[in-house]
Structure 1
Amino acid sequence: MKTFKTTLTLIVTLMTIMTTNAQVSFGTPQKINDNWKFILADPENAAQPDFDDNRWRTLDLPHDWSVEGTLNPSLYSCTGYLPGGIGWYRKSLNIPKDKSGEKVYLYFEGVYNRSKVYLNGHLLGERPNGYISFMYDATPYIKYGEPNEVAVRVDHSRQADSRWYTGSGIYRNVWLVYANPVHISEWGVFVYPESSSAKKATLKVETSVTNSSDKAVKLDIVNELYTEDGKKVAQSVSKLSVSQNESNKTLTSLNVKNPELWSLDSPTLYTLKTTVKRGNKVLDQTETKTGIRSFTFDPDKGFALNGKWMKVKGVCLHHDGGVLGAAVPKLVWEKRLKELKEIGCNAIRTSHNPQAPDLYALCDELGLLVMDEAFDEWEFPKRKWLEGWNVGTPGFEGSYDFFEEWSSRDLGDMVRRDRNHPSIMMWSIGNEVDYPNDPYSHPVLDGSAISQPMYGGYKPESPDANRLGDIAKRLVKVVKEYDTSRPATAALAGVVMSNQTAYPGALDVAGYNYTENRYAEDHKTYPDRIIYGSENRHDMAAWKAVRDNDYIFGQFLWTGVDYLGEAGRWPSRGFNSGLISLANVIKPRGYFREALWSDKPFAYVGTYPNWRNRDYKSIDAWQIWNYNEGQNIRVVCYTNAAKARLMLNGEEVGEIKPYDDETGVIAWDIPFKPGKLEVVGLDKDGKEICTDVIQTSERPFALKATTEEKIVDKDKGLSIVTIQVVDENGVPVSLSDDEVSCRIHGPAKLLGLEAGNPSDMTSYTDRSQRVFMGKLTAYIQANGEAGEISVDFSAPWLKGATVQIKAE
C-alpha cells in the first residue's frame, strides 16, 4: 500500500476486538490450566494415552520450569544462567457425550518452544516459535464421553537460543473451545476505520465465518456496539453464504455519533457484540472490547493521536517477571504499567516478540500505546553471549532455522491476534537484524561513515546486507494482508549500512536504535522518511534529540523494567537498565525520567559520595542519607521545576540553582551531617511548587509489610506484598540487606520473593530472600479455597510483620 509513501500524513482510526475470553474469539472457551502432569525429561512414548504418568509432578499452568532451576555459572549468561531442557506436560480431559457433533479445539497462548501437541496419541501439530499463540482442531480424535489424553512436548534443549531470558514450558494460558461446526473463524472479527472525528465515526467490521459442516449455509451476521454503561449506539445485520468446509467473510459499517475517543488520558472502551444466526438459531456469539481513535504520522511534524501532536515517551519491555520467570500474572503487569504511566511513560515496545494477551488488554484499559514486534532475528543467527554480555566467545543457537518456513505465518498470526487492540500503533517486523556483521555485511562498512573498529569493516564472506530489503518487503506484505490501517516499522541498528539497501524503503516508519546523530542528516536526505527512536539510552542528550526536533516523534528507552538474561559475568542475573526493578520498585533513573516526562510538578533528591570531586551528575542516585560525619557528598535533584534549593534540618545548605538543560540534573556538594535532607523545587518566580525529603535512618529494627490486595479471588487471585525494613522511628533503612523469611497460614501459596538485586545468585525457589535497598516483594496466590490467609514475615533480630488477606 502506497498511502504511507505518497502522502505526508498517515491517519489511522481503529477499533479493537478483544474477547472477554482472552484471545479466543469464538465458541465457548474454557480455561484448562489446572492439574497438569509434568516431567523435566524426555521419556519414550509419553504421547501415548496409556502412558503411566502417576509419578510425574502435578502442577497448574502457566508454568516456567527454567526459573525453578538453579542459577549456575556453567550455564549461559544470555538467558540468565538458568537451564533449558526438554519437558512433557499431560492432562486428561473429559469431553461430555452431549458435545458430540460440536467442534473441539485446543488453544495455547504461548509455549516456549518447539512444541508438539498430541491428543490420544495423535500429533495435532507443532509450533517452533515460543511466543506465538496457536490453535489445533482436536475434533477428529476426540472420544466423546471418555477421557482424552493431551500431551505436549516442549523442546528447549537449545538453551542459548536467545539474547535474553525466555523461560521454558507452557508459560501462558491454555483453553478448551467448544463450537458449532459453523462458527466465527479464529481471530475472525476485525474492525477498522473508514472515517473518524469527535462528531462521527464510521467503522468497517469484517467478520469471517468457518463452516466445517458438509452443507452450505446462509447466515445473518449481527454486529451491535454498546457504550460502557450498556447503551446500544450502532447496529448492522449482514447476509453471508458459506460453502461446506470453507470460510467466507462479510464487510459492514457501523456509524457512531459523537463517539468517545480512546486516548491516553481517557481510554474509553466500547463493547462489540457479534452474533452468527441461521434463521432464529444462534450458532455463535462473542463480545469484545472496543476503542475508537485516530493516528497521524508525518515526516515533518511527527505523531498525533486524535489530531493532537505529541511525543511518544516509550520504553522497551521483555516478558519476564524476575522470580516469576515467564509465567507472569496479569496483576504484576498491571502494577508495572501503572508505575510506568506514573513516571510519564505513554508507550511500550514488545521487545522483541509478541507478548501475553494480558499485556495488550492492560494497555487498552490504561491508555498506553504499543509497538508490537515480531522478531529479533531473521534467516541467520545473532551472537548469543555465553560467559557474560559482550564477553568471550558467543554462541549461535536461535530461531533462524525455522524462519524461512514459519516467519510469514508467525507474523500473520501476530497481526491477526493483536490487530484489534486500540493501543497498538505500529507493527514491527524486526529488531537489529541489520546490526553490521551480526550477521549481515556491506562494503560501506569499509567507508568513513561507520567506525571500523566497532564493526570490524566489511566482511565479504558474511551474508549480503542487500538480502534485508527482499525479506523486509515480504514481511511488510504479510502485515498489509491482514491490516492496512497501521504502519509497518522495524528497529534499525545499522542505518548507515541499511541505507545502502532497500530495507528502510520497504518500511512505512523507520525506527533508529541508538543513532540520534543520524536524525538530522537522514531527515534531510530522506525527506519523506518518518523517523523515531526505537531504542535509546536514558541520558538527556538522547531525550533532547526527540524533544527539540518536531520530525522525531518519540523514543523507546532500553528498558522500562529490569529483566533476566543478557547478563554480565557471574554473578549477574540480568540487565538492570530499567526504570523499574525486578521487584517492581521505581529506581532513581525512573524518577529522573519522571522529571523529564511528567506534566506535574516533580522533584526527587538522591545522593552518593563524591570521592574525587568529579563533576559527574548521576541519574542513578539512591535516596540514602547515611554517611560518615563530614564526608563529601554529592546531592542531586531530578526536577521539572525552573530551579531548586537544598535544605538540611530546616537550614539552606545548597543555594538556589537553575535547571541544567544539558544534564537534567541539579547538583550540590556538601559535607554529610545526619538529619532531614530536603530539596525544594521553585518556579521561575521563586514560588515553591514541589519538594522531596530523605532522612538519616538508625539501625534496622522492624519489618513493615503492606499490600493493596487485601481481598483476592479464591481462584488464583494474587496479592503483591511489599516488605520494607525500617528503624525504630519507622524511617526506611535503605542500606539494609537483612534476610527475610515468609510463612503462610491459610489457602494460599508463595509464588516467589523478589528483591530486585541483579547480583544475588542465591536460590529463588525457597521461602527466604535478602532485601535489596531495604525492600522485598512477595507474591502470594490463593489456591482455590475460600478463607482467611495470614502471611508472616520474619528476619533475625528484627521485629516481624504480618499481612491478612481474604480469599473469596
Structure 2
Amino acid sequence: MRKNLLLIAIILLTGIAPSLSAQVSFGKPEKINENWRFILNDQKDGQAVALNDSRWQQVSLPHDWSVKGQLSPTLASCTGFLPGGIGWYRKTIDIPADKQGEKVYLYFEGVYNRSEVFLNGESLGKRPNGYISFMYDATPHIKYGEENVIAVRVDHSQSADSRWYTGSGIYRDVWLVYANPVHIAQWGVYAYPEEVRNGYKLNVEVDIQNEEKSNVSLTVLNELFSPEGKLVAKESKRLVVEAGKENKLTTSLRVNKPSLWSLSDPNLYELKTTVLKGKVVTDQTVTRTGFRSYTFDANKGFALNGEWMKVKGVCIHHDAGVLGAAVPQDVWKRRLETLKEVGVNAIRTSHNPQATDLYNLCDEMGILVLNEMYDEWVFPKRKWLEGWNFGTPGFEGSYDIFKEWSEIDLADFVRRDRNHISVFAWSIGNEVDYPNDPYSHPVLGGEKAGFTQASYGGYNPDAPDAMELGDIAKRLVKVVKTFDNARPVTAGLAGVAMSNETEYP
C-alpha cells in the first residue's frame, strides 16, 4: 500500500499524465490545432521567421482547402473536379523557459501531401505520403522562453494523383509533445493478446529511448486495468539503456478469465506503462487493448473467439463527401452506427491509413478492421480526367516515391495501428494487379485452360512483368511481420487469373 501511494505521489509531483489522446505513446502531448495562418500559393521563403503572414487566412485544423475550392469541369474527374495546388501553413508557439532540458517534438497525423515542415526557418524534414502520420524532433531548433515559428509547405500540385477524392492540406490533428530525454519510443508500446491454457496472456513490448549522455538503469512497470477500472495484472522489470541508444523490454501479463472483445461486447482494457529512473517517473503512457482470438480456415472461413461468422464488410475512404477530408469524429461515429444498424460488422480502409478517430471508434463499437496500405506500387494506375473510364487518362500518383518510402511508410503504418484491437488483418495493396494497368502476363493470351478472366487487351510483352508483383509483396509482408506477427497479411486482387500465376499476394 505504501509503495502504491509513493508511486501516485511521484506521478503527481512530476506532472506526468498518461498519454492516451495522442498516438505517439510517450511524453505529454498537446493538440495545437488553433490559430494557424494559411495561404494557397507557393509563397517565396514561406518558412522565414521574419515573413509577415498577418494577411494570410486564419484557419483551425484539421483543414482541407480543396473541398472549399471551385468545382470545374476542367479539373480531374477522378478527384471530384476540385483543385489541388501548393499551400503554406504557419503558426507561432511559445515554448516556456522552464521546458529547457526537455525534448520537444511535432507530430502530424496526416498532411496531404508531399509536405515539408520547418521550425524557425530550419527544415525538420519532408514526408511525401499524404496518409502517413509522422513526427519530427524539433529540439535542436527550439528557442526556449521565446516564440517559435512552425511553417509547413504542402505540395498537391499533382492534383490528379488518385482515383478518388483526396483533399489537400493539414487535414488531421497536429500535436506538440514534451518529453524527458529518457522516454518510451514513438509507438514504442506494443500489446497483443494470446490465448493460452486456462485463459489469456497479454504480450507486451516496450521500446525505451535514452537521449542522455550516459547509460541509465530503469524500472518499467506495466499495469493492466479491466473495463471496470480494476487492476487485474502487473509486472515490473529492470532495463539498462545505453547513452544515445534504444532498448526493448519484453514481458507478459496473465489474465485467467478476461472479458473478451467481440462484435456485441467490445470490452476494452487499459495498459498503463510507467518508466522510472530510481524513484522518478520519466515517462508514462496508457495503451488501450483487449482480449480476443481469430481463426482463419480455408474450409470454414473466419471465427472470432471461436464463433464462426461471415465478415460483412464495406470499403470506406477517408473523406466524408461535402465535408472533405477533414472529418469530425462525430461524423465517423454516426456513419459507423448506421452501418452497424444495417448489419455491417467490418470495414476496409480503402486504400490507405485513416484518421485515429476511426480506429478508436471501431475498437469501442465492435467493428472489425481490414487495415490497408497502397493503391499503387512502382507503377501508376490510370487516373480518369474527363469522366468515368472515359477519355485520355492521366498518370500522376504516388508511384514515384514507392521505392524510397514504401518500407518506411509501411513500418510506421503498422507500428501506429497495431494496438487497435479491432484490426484483424493487414492489406499491403489494392488491385495493383490490374491486367495491363500496367502489369501483363502470358496467361492473358487466353492459351491456358481453366480459370480465366477478362484479358483487357491480351498479353502485352512490352508491359511490366506481373511476376514482379510477388517479389514486392514478399518484401512488404516481411516489413509487416517485423512489427506485428500476430495478424495475417493479405491484398486486394483485381486480376485473379493473372495473379494466380505469380506470388501475389
For residue 143 of structure 2, what is the amino acid of its counterpart? K
Tell me, which stretches of 5 or more residues in structure 1 are unaligned? 1-17, 505-808
The C-alpha deviation readout for 1:234-276, integer Å capped at 9, x for no partner, is 0000111101111101001101121000000000001111100
Is 1:462 aligned with 2:463? yes
Please state whether the residue corresponding to 1:405 is helix, strand or coil.
helix
Give the aligned partner of residue 335 of structure 2.
336
CA-CA distance at 1:191 after TM superposition? 0.9
Provide closer, same or farther for how the CA distance between residues 19 and 312 of structure 1 changes in structure 2, counting only shifts above 3 A.
Answer: farther
Structure 2 Cα separation of the partners of residues 322 and 496 of structure 1: 35
In the alignment, residue 88 of structure 1 is paired with which amino acid?
A: W
Structure 1 counterpart of 2:136:
136
Q: Partner of 2:322 in structure 1?
A: 323
Native 8 Å contact 2:189 2:287 kept in 1: no
List per-residue Cα deviations over 1:62-106 (Å, max 9, x = no partner). Answer: 000000001111101000000000000000010000000000000
Report matched runs for 1:97-108 at 5 Å: 97-108=97-108
Matched, 1:503 2:501: no
AA of the residue aligned to 1:301: K
- Could you list the per-position Cα deviations for residues 105-137 of structure 1 after superposition, in whole angstroms to 9, with x for gaps in the alignment? 000000000000000111101000000000000
Structure-1 residue corresponding to 2:352: 353
1:45-74: per-residue Cα shift (whole Å, max 9, x none)?
Answer: 111111111110011000000000011111
Q: How does 1:201-216 map to 2 (within 5 A)?
A: 201-216=200-215
| Structure 1 position 22, deviation (Å) | 2.8
Cross-structure match for 2:191: 191
TM-score relative to the length of structure 2? 0.95
The alignment status of 1:488 with 2:484, answered yes or no, reads: no
Report if the CA contact (8 A) 1:364-1:421 is conserved.
yes
- Per-residue Cα deviation, 1:484-511 (whole angstroms, up to 9, x for no partner): 000010001101001111223xxxxxxx
Kept in 1, the 8 Å contact 2:92–2:147? The answer is: yes
What secondary structure is seen at the aligned counterpart in 2 of 1:461?
A: coil
Q: Distance in 2 between matches of 1:324 and 1:214?
A: 48
Paired amino acid for 1:132: I
- In the alignment of these two chains, the number of paired residues is 485
> Separation in 2 of the partners of 1:165 and 1:196?
45
Letter of the 1:109 counterpart: E
The equivalent of 2:10 in structure 1 is none
- Deviation digits for residues 523-543 of structure 1 (CA, Å, limit 9, x no counterpart): xxxxxxxxxxxxxxxxxxxxx
Spell out the pairing of 1:91-170 with structure 2 (5 A cutoff): 91-170=91-170
Q: Compute the displacement of 1:451 (Å).
A: 5.0
**Aligned residue for 2:264?**
265
1:475 maps to which residue?
476
Q: Which amino acid aligns with 2:116?
A: K
Aligned pairs for 1:15-30 (under 5 A) are 20-30=20-30
Name the aligned partner's letter for residue 34 of structure 1: E
Identify the residue that residue 3 of structure 2 maps to in structure 1. none
State the alpha-carbon separation in 2 of the partners of residues 390 and 215 from structure 1.
61
Q: Which residue in 2 is equivalent to 1:404?
A: 403
Give the aligned residue type for 2:469: L
> 1:548-559, aligned counterparts within 5 Å?
none
Task: Determine whether 1:41 maps to 2:41.
Answer: yes
Answer whether contact 1:372 1:427 (CA < 8 A) is retained: yes
Where does 1:674-689 land on structure 2 (aligned, <5 Å)?
none
CA distance in 1, matches of 2:381, 2:135: 30
- Distance in 2 between residues matched to 1:202 and 1:301, nearest whole Å: 26
SS of residue matched to 1:503: coil
- Counterparts of 1:275 and 1:361 in 2: how far apart (Å)? 22
> Helix, strand or coil for the counterpart of 1:58?
strand
SS at structure 1 position matched to 2:402: helix
Contact kept in structure 1, 2:258 and 2:291, CA below 8 Å:
yes
Give me the whole-angstrom Cα distance separating, in 2, the residues matched to 1:229 and 1:443.
Answer: 60
Counterpart CA distance in 2 for 1:196 and 1:94 is 51
Relative to structure 1, the CA distance from residue 196 to residue 337 in structure 2 (aligned partners, 3 Å threshold; closer, same or farther) is: farther
1:374-523 correspondence to structure 2 within 5 Å: 374-447=373-446, 450-451=452-453, 455-504=456-505
Contact 2:22-2:29 at 8 Å conserved across structures: no
- What are the Cα deviations for residues 603-623 of structure 1, in whole angstroms up to 9, with x where unaligned? xxxxxxxxxxxxxxxxxxxxx
Q: Secondary structure at the match of 1:125?
A: strand
Alignment-derived partner of residue 285 in structure 1: 284
Q: State the match for 1:66 in structure 2.
A: 66
Q: Which residue of 2 aligns with 1:246?
A: 245
Residue 735 of structure 1 aligns with which residue? none
For residues 229 and 406 of structure 2, the distance between their equivalents in structure 1, rounded to whole angstroms, comes to 41
**1:140 alignment partner, SS class:** helix
Mapped contact 2:19–2:28 kept (Cα < 8 A): no
1:75 corresponds in structure 2 to 75
Higher RCO (C-alpha 8 Å, min separation 6) = 2
Give the Å deviation of 1:291.
Answer: 1.1
2:293 partner SS: strand
Q: Match for 1:382: what amino acid? A: K
**Distance in 1 separating the partners of 2:263 and 2:290:** 12
CA contact (8 A) 2:192 2:289 kept: no
Cα displacement string for residues 163-191 of structure 1 (whole angstroms, at most 9, x for unaligned residues): 00000000000000000000000000001
Aligned counterparts of 2:420 and 2:228: Cα–Cα separation in 1:
20
Identical-residue share of aligned pairs (%): 67
CA distance in 1, matches of 2:110, 2:317: 15
Please give the per-residue CA displacement for 1:446-467, whole angstroms capped at 9, x wherever unaligned: 1155455x50001111100000
Aligned-pair distance for 1:19? 5.2
What corresponds to 2:175 in structure 1? 175
Q: Which amino acid aligns with 1:221?
A: V
SS across alignment from 1:444: helix
How many Å separate the matches in 2 of 1:136 and 1:246? 17
Q: Which residue is equivalent to 1:309?
A: 308
The answer to whether the 8 A contact 1:42-1:87 is kept is yes
Q: Which amino acid aligns with 1:399?
A: S
Change (3 A) 1:99 1:312: same
The equivalences for 1:579-590 within 5 A come to none
Q: What secondary structure sits across from 2:29 in the alignment?
A: strand
Answer yes or no: is the 8 Å Cα contact 1:434–1:493 preserved in 2: yes
TM-superposed deviation, 1:192: 2.0
> What is the one-letter code of the residue matched to 2:368?
L
Structure 2 Cα separation of the partners of residues 443 and 104 of structure 1: 55
Partner of 2:361: 362
Q: Which residue of 1 aligns with 2:6?
A: none
Gap runs ≥5 in structure 2: 1-17
TM-score (normalizing by structure 1):
0.59
After TM superposition, what 4+ stretches of structure 1 lie above 6 angstroms from structure 2?
A: none
Q: Using the alignment, how far apart are the partners of 1:306 and 1:315 within structure 2?
A: 22
Structure 1 residue 277, shift from structure 2 partner: 0.3
Deviation of 1:196 after TM superposition, in Å, equals 4.3
Partners of 1:207 and 1:435 lie apart in 2 by: 41
C-alpha separation between the residues in 1 aligned to 2:196 and 2:422? 16
Distance in 2, Cα, partners of 1:79 & 1:422: 32
Between the aligned partners of 1:220 and 1:451, the Cα distance in structure 2 is 59
| Separation in structure 2 between the aligned mates of residue 450 and residue 58 of structure 1, nearest angstrom | 56
Aligned to 2:273: 274
1:435 aligned partner, one-letter code: Y
Q: CA, structure 1 residues 196+346, in 2 after alignment: closer, same or farther (shift >3 Å)?
A: farther
Report SS of the residue matched to 1:460.
coil
Q: 1:451 to 1:491 in 2, by over 3 A?
A: closer
Q: Distance in 2 between matches of 1:358 and 1:79?
A: 24
Q: How far apart are the structure 2 equivalents of 1:209 and 1:238?
A: 13
Q: Kindly state the Cα deviation for residue 283 of structure 1 after the two structures are TM-superposed.
A: 0.3
Q: Secondary structure at the match of 1:455?
A: coil
Q: Any conservation in 2 of the 1:297–1:304 contact (CA below 8 Å)? A: yes
The answer (yes or no) to whether the contact 1:196–1:294 under 8 Å persists in 2 is: no
The 8 Å contact of residues 196 and 293 in structure 1, kept in 2 or not, is answered as: no
Q: What RMSD over aligned residues (CA atoms) do the two structures have, in Å?
A: 1.1
Decide whether the 8 Å contact of 1:347 with 1:370 is kept in 2. Answer: yes
Q: Could you say what secondary structure the match of 1:456 adopts?
A: coil
For 2:248 and 2:496, how far apart are their aligned partners in 1?
41
Q: Tell me, what secondary structure is at the counterpart of 2:419?
A: coil
Give the aligned residue type for 1:365: E
2:50 alignment partner AA: D
